Chain A
Amino acid sequence: KAGVTQTPRYLIKTRGQQVTLSCSPISGHRSVSWYQQTPGQGLQFLFEYFSETQRNKGNFPGRFSGRQFSNSRSEMNVSTLELGDSALYLCASSLGGTEKNTIYFGEGSWLTVV
């Protein structure tokens, strides 16, 4: 069974640009979550999508957005990039919807903003 796939793995962007990251969940998983990981803040929750609807949202500015397609694949977008957006962005998928839900991570997309 294929795991969670994220693309691209590495990218460098300039301040002010925008970036789109892609995530393909495990087959059959309908929930996709996005996390930002930095050395200083650890893993922080961005948002979660289930059946093409955003169900939960973390405390990030509106520059961070996402969407989910009918095949459960998801994208996240960051506009007007800032230096502080440099981080590992992790996508996780799960069956979704229960408190005993387990999420499975992709390898992440390393974003460097210069």
Chain B
Amino acid sequence: TQLLEQSPQFLSIQEGENLTVYCNSSSVFSSLQWYRQEPGEGPVLLVTVVTGGEVKKLKRLTFQFGDARKDSSLHITAAQPGDTGLYLCAGVFGGGSYIPTFGRGTSLIVHP
């Protein structure tokens, strides 16, 4: 079973602070997605990365895909209360499988 580890599990920060969330595996990802989920709602896709070393930016969010495609990070600059939510990474390991494996998520709370 291929595992996908997310860290940290919980983050509680003040508005304006920066933060980074990590997603790691011992296996190579064919592609990786980051989602954000608010309480009681379904996950909303933020980004898909497929190329090793790829960097994508979405306003104050920066996503990096590791060169070896075994890890990814999400960095948020100057966090705002509206960033509060559960951040999930989901990786497809390839080898004929295209069902993504989800991490347990990082629960972020940004205090005003």
Contact = CB atoms under 8 A, between A and B. Distances in A.
B99 A33 contact: yes
A4 to B, nearest CB: 8
A102 B45 contact: yes
Interface residues of B, number: 25
B33 A90 contact: no
A88 B40 CA distance: 8
Interface stretch (A12-20, A60-68, A73-81, A103-111): A103-111
Interface of A: 4, 6, 33, 35, 42-43, 45, 48, 56, 88, 90, 96-108, 110
Interface of B: 30-31, 33, 35, 40-45, 48, 50, 88, 90, 92, 94, 97-105
24 contacts: A4-B42, A6-B42, A35-B102, A42-B104, A43-B88, A43-B105, A45-B99, A45-B101, A48-B99, A90-B43, A97-B98, A99-B30, A99-B92, A100-B48, A101-B31, A101-B100, A102-B31, A103-B33, A103-B100, A105-B35, A105-B42, A105-B43, A105-B45, A110-B40
